[in-house]
Structures are given as C-alpha cells and as structure tokens.
Amino acid sequence: MNRMRISWLALYVCVYLLFLYAPVLLLPIFSFNDSSIVAFPLSGFTLNWFALLWQTETLHSAVRNSIMIAAITAIVSTMLGLCAARAASRYAFRMKRGIMGLIMVPLVLPEIVVGVSLLVVILQFGFELSLWSIVLGHVLICTPFSVVVLSTAFNNLDRSLEEAAIDLGETRWSTFRLISLPLIMPGVIASLLIAFTISLDEFIIAFFLAGTEVTLPVYIWSLLRFPARLPSVLALGTILLAASLILLVSAEFIRRRGLRRTGATDRGGLF
Amino acid sequence: MSPGSLRSWLRSPDGRGLTLVSPPFIYAVLLLAAPLAAVAAFSFWTQNYLDLDRTFTIANYREVWTEPVYRVLMLRSLTVSALVTAVTVALAFPIAYFVSFRVEPARKPLWIFLITIPFWTSYLMRIFLWKVILGYNGVVNGSLLQLGIISEPLNFILYNVNAVVITLSHAWAPFAILPIFVALEKIDRSLLEAATDLGDGPLQRFFSITLPLAFPGIFAAALIVFIPTVGDYVTPRLVGGPSGLMISNMIELQFKKANNPPLGAALAVSAMFIVTAISLIFVRISRRYLRERA
C-alpha cells in the first residue's frame, strides 16, 4: 500500500517536471531547425540562426542596452537596498512601518501600473523617454528584492563584532567598511545578481518607457509579431540558457572545492 | 531646533535610522508615490484630443464601472487569476510535498534547483513557446494526431482563456512551490511519528497534521500568484486571442493607441482597488482561520 502511494507521487512528479521543462526543451530544438516558421513538423538541421545572430546589428544594440541598464539597476538598487535594510534591521525610527511599506510596495504592484504611472509623469514634465527612464523604473521594482536579501544578511550579522570595532576606536564608517561589509558580502552579491536578472528580463516597464532605443525583451516582443528573425532569438535564448547553467554549475563546483579544502561541513548549496 | 539638539537627534536611533532610510525613501516618494498620485489625478480629468481638461469629473469611473466591455474584462481578469491561482497551487502542492518528505535532505537543494532551471530563460520566449506547444500545428495537437487519439487538431487550447490559464500556471509555478515547500519543511516530523504511534493511518495523518500545518505556505502561495496575474499583459496578448484579453491590455490600449490616459488611469485605479480589497479580505480570512487553529 505504502509503496504504491509513493510510486503514484513519483509518477506525478515526472509528469509535472515534463510540464515545467516543455518550453525549455523546445528552445534548442527550434534554434537548430531549418525553417523561419517556429512550428512542427521540423524541417532539418541548421546552424544558420546562430550565424545570423552575429550579423543582426539591432539585436546587438538591444543586448548592449539591456546589459547596461541591468548593471546600473543592480548597483543602484543594491545601494538603496543597503540603506533601507541597514536602517530597518538596526534602528527604531518614526513611521518605520509606513516608510518601509512604501519602499516595498512595488513587490505587490502590477508592473503595468508602475510603467503607466512613470510614463504619465515623464511625459507631463516634458522629458524625453530614453534608456534612463527604463533604469528609473527598474530600480524601483528591484529595490524591494535587494532589501529582502540584504535584511536577511544584516539580521544574521553578529552585532557584537561591530561594537567591538567601535570600542577599539574605529569610526562608524570604517567599521561598516572593514567589518560589516565583508561579512554581508554574500548578501550584496546575491542582491546584485537578483536585481541584474530581474532587470535583464523585465518587459512591461521597458515597453512603456522605451524611447527610440530598445532593450532585449522589447526587441524580442517586436519579433514575435514579425517573426522572420525569431529563430535567431531562440538561438540567443539557447546560448543564454547554456551560459547560465554552465555558470551556476561551475560556481557550485568551486564552492564545494573550497569547502573541502577548509574541511567545513556542507550546508546548503546546489548538489 | 538648536544646532546642539539637532546634532544629538542625528545621533539618536531615530535620527540615524531616518537619515539612513532617506535615500530609498525619497526615491520611492519621487518615482512611486508621486507618479501614482498623478495617475489618480488623471483619472478625474478628461482628454480632449490633444488637450487635457483638468476639471474634476467622475465620468471616467462611471464609464469603467457601468460599460459592459470594461466589466467583462475586469471580471475575466479576476476569474482567470483565481483559476490560475487554484490550478497553480493545487499542482504545486504535491511537488513541494515530494521534495520535502520524500527526497533525502542532502538532495533537496538540487531538486529546488531542478525546479527553477526552466525559469532561467526569457519570460517572453517561454510564453511564446507555449503558443508553439498549444497551437494548431503545435506539439500537443501533433502528438495527439500521431497517436490517433484525435482526428482533427483541437481548437480549444489556443487563443482563449484556457491557453491563458495553462501558460500562467506554468509561469508562476516556482512562486507557488517555494512557499509551500518552506512551510512543509517547518513541520516537526516528530508530530507525524506521534500520530503514527497513536494509530493514525497515512491519510488521516496527512489531513490532520501535514495539510493544516502547510496552510500558511498555501495562503502565501495563493497571494503571490493571484496579485500579479490579475495585471498580466503579455500572456493574454500572446496566447489569449480576442476572447482571452484582460484588463491590462485595455489599460495599455487607452494609454497608447486610444490616447485616452484619463480613462486608462481610471481603469488602473479601479483594478488596483479591487485587487487590494480582495487580497485584504483573503488575508483577514486566512489569519482568522490560522488563529482559530492555534
């Protein structure tokens, strides 16, 4: 009886994983398929779509714009997140709940509302839409994620270390730089990566706030309706997926080797 | 305030906290609170072709709440979100349960990683690929035809509400699995052993211990999925067809092609109001339920 139940659950898990992986499995299939129409039946193997990637200048500039926006967003929202997380985890101050609530609101706000409201204000004040207006919106939605990640880091930090540094004559700033910052570095890196990833993939806000220059998701959106070059975008998707997997796996291997060298017990990690 | 007391205030926890929190707070006031206030103001104005008439009127709201087309879109957005929430949470629970209770502790992070891999690709591409899967010549129809289960391609799985529900249930899966998994991990396993010792069978144990203790995670998952899906723009646009469009598509239309930002603003404000109200009621009900349990 018990064994029967486990196998039903295992069967369900297999079917569900197939459901989860269905789109990702199709991505490489169509990026090697010799047809500009993304549909079955397949018509043969080709590497043309990968070759085409190198020749499409609009795609290159969209990728460059996206990476630049994501990098700036990651840095700015991590700095804002550091301020908010530090204040929230260390000090009791007036209207703390209201202030922190406002900073965290973008978590529950539909992105279209953020996009629309920024669009209204930017156009009313007569500013031009540009890549910078996208950065403004992305920082807004990424900061709450940075705050969450960094709050955990600050809460796990042993306060007595900072107190000891101050007792030994360090200033608040040098204590932060020499003691706190190195200890919360994993949180800072996580915050940078999360903000970078969110910004890189964000479409709605970029769609509303893009001027003449576009980001990668906005470019992909335009291709979804004029699909002649779509398979080359799928090829790009394949490359990006492979790259992020290789990156993750190698980071995990390095982490485990470091653990083995120091003889620490493994807690957390991927494998 | 004298300079001395200002200096001592700046050194107090209150002063230090407020100084430190001011950069993100000012950013949020300027780029979130003010723009939202602007949208709220817009919703009471009128657009006359190129000019904006700034006399106060509630005509936009009257239109939003009485015109059938807006009511249909609003109701559809809410129904689709509710359906997506129910489907996503129901499908996610067994997976979270499996990883938490059946997988060896050392392997759990690997499983969580396995579940999140499919979401490392672009959101737009994933949704588009669902269109490929569900389409007339798509994967589902192709395989079913080949297997001889159907003789003609199924039409009811693309360009309608069903397609939107399937696609969104996929897109939000990890956001439902993770909170439920966290709640299940917190369950003290000795409770289950105690129940076994006292003679409970597996089913009884599940319904009297595991499920009730997992409710905080289930409630969290439901909110995390429900709130953003109401405002989803991309999925209805790509796989919804005309009968699957939702409120965000109308908001975008009003702000862009129809050039009627005030009406779009009234739609956005109304949608946010309804979603907030539903979420608050849901939170209150679930809190009361959890308190009665405790």
Contacts of A109 in chain B (CB under 8 A): 272
- What pLDDT, on the 0 to 100 scale, is given for residue A132? 92
Q: Which residue of B has its CA nearest to A133?
A: B31
Of A22, A124, A216, the CB nearest to B38: A124
Cβ contact (<8 Å) for A93 and B18? yes
Tens of pLDDT, residue by residue over B175-211, are 999 999 999 998 888 888 888 888 888 888 888 888 9
Tens of pLDDT, residue by residue over A148-192, are 999 988 988 888 888 898 899 888 888 888 888 888 888 898 899
Q: What is the mean pLDDT of residues A95-123?
A: 91
Nearest to A223 by CA among A205, A243, A203, A241: A203
Tens of pLDDT, residue by residue over B245-272, are 999 999 999 988 888 989 999 999 999 9
- The string of DSSP letters for chain A reads -HHHHHHHHHHHHHHHHHHHHHHHHHHHHHHTBS-SS--SSP--B--HHHHHHHH-HHHHHHHHHHHHHHHHHHHHHHHHHHHHHHHHHH---TTHHHHHHHHHGGGTS-HHHHHHHHHHHHHHTTPPP-HHHHHHHHHHHHHHHHHHHHHHHHHTS-HHHHHHHHHTT--HHHHIIIIIHHHHHHHHHHHHHHHHHHHHH--HHHHHH--SS--HHHHHHHHHHSGGGHHHHHHHHHHHHHHHHHHHHHHHHHHHHHHHHHTPPP-SS--
Cβ contact (<8 Å) for A102 and B28? yes
Contacts of B138 in chain A (CB under 8 A): 39-40
What are B119's two structure tokens?
């979401």
Residue type, A86: R
Do A137 and A74 contact (CB within 8 A), yes or no?
no
> For all residues of chain A together, what is the average pLDDT?
85
Distance CA B144, CA B152 (A): 9
Query: Measuring CA to CA, how many Å separate B105 from each of B8, B10, B98?
Result: 52, 48, 12
Tens of pLDDT, residue by residue over A63-84, are 999 999 999 999 999 999 999 9
pTM of the entire predicted model: 0.86
Does residue A263 carry a pLDDT above 80? no
The model's confidence at residue A269, banded by pLDDT at 50, 70 and 90, is: very low
Contacts of B29 in chain A (CB under 8 A): 102
Q: Which residue of A has its CA nearest to B24?
A: A80
Query: Measuring CA to CA, how many Å separate A133 from each of A201, A215, B192, B215, B268?
Result: 16, 12, 54, 41, 21
CATH number of this structure's domain B68-293: 1.10.3720.10
Q: Which residue of A has its CA nearest to B201?
A: A2
Cβ contact (<8 Å) for A112 and B252? yes
The model's confidence at residue A4, banded by pLDDT at 50, 70 and 90, is: low
Distance in Å, alpha carbon of B36 to nearest chain A alpha carbon: 6
The model's confidence at residue B223, banded by pLDDT at 50, 70 and 90, is: very high
Per mean pLDDT, which range of B2-6, B26-30, B167-171, B215-219 is the poorest? Answer: B2-6
Does residue B40 carry a pLDDT above 90? yes
Of A136, A233, A271, the CB nearest to B110: A271
Do A38 and B132 contact (CB within 8 A), yes or no?
yes
Do B224 and B179 contact (CB within 8 A), yes or no?
yes
Tens of pLDDT, residue by residue over A231-251, are 887 888 888 888 878 877 777
Q: Which residue of B has its CA nearest to A224?
A: B128
Cβ contact (<8 Å) for A9 and B31? no
Cβ contact (<8 Å) for A108 and B227? yes
Q: What is the mean pLDDT of residues A131-139?
A: 94
Tens of pLDDT, residue by residue over A53-63, are 888 888 889 99
List the domain boundaries for chain B.
68-293
Distance in Å, alpha carbon of B75 to nearest chain A alpha carbon: 17
Q: Which residue of A has its CA nearest to B247?
A: A112
The model's confidence at residue A262, banded by pLDDT at 50, 70 and 90, is: low
- What pLDDT, on the 0 to 100 scale, is given for residue A20? 93
Of B25, B137, B268, the CB nearest to A99: B25
Fold annotation for A66-236? MetI-like fold (1.10.3720)
Contacts of B271 in chain A (CB under 8 A): 110
The fraction of chain B above a pLDDT of 90, given in percent, is 49
Cβ contact (<8 Å) for B122 and A201? yes
Torsion region of A44: left, alpha or beta (phi above 0 gives left; psi -120 to 50 gives alpha): left
Distance in Å, alpha carbon of A269 to nearest chain B alpha carbon: 6
Of B21, B38, B248, the CB nearest to A83: B21
Does residue A1 carry a pLDDT above 50? no
Cβ contact (<8 Å) for A10 and B264? no
Tens of pLDDT, residue by residue over A201-215, are 899 999 999 888 899
The model's confidence at residue B141, banded by pLDDT at 50, 70 and 90, is: confident
Q: How many CB pairs under 8 A join A and B?
A: 228
Distance in Å, alpha carbon of A49 to nearest chain B alpha carbon: 16
Q: Which residue of A has its CA nearest to B130?
A: A23
List the domain boundaries for chain A.
66-236
Choose from A17, A25, A120, A250 for mutation: most chain B CBs within 10 A: A120
More confident of the two residues B51 and A219: A219
Distance CA B24, CA B149 (A): 58
Q: Which residue of A has its CA nearest to B101?
A: A6
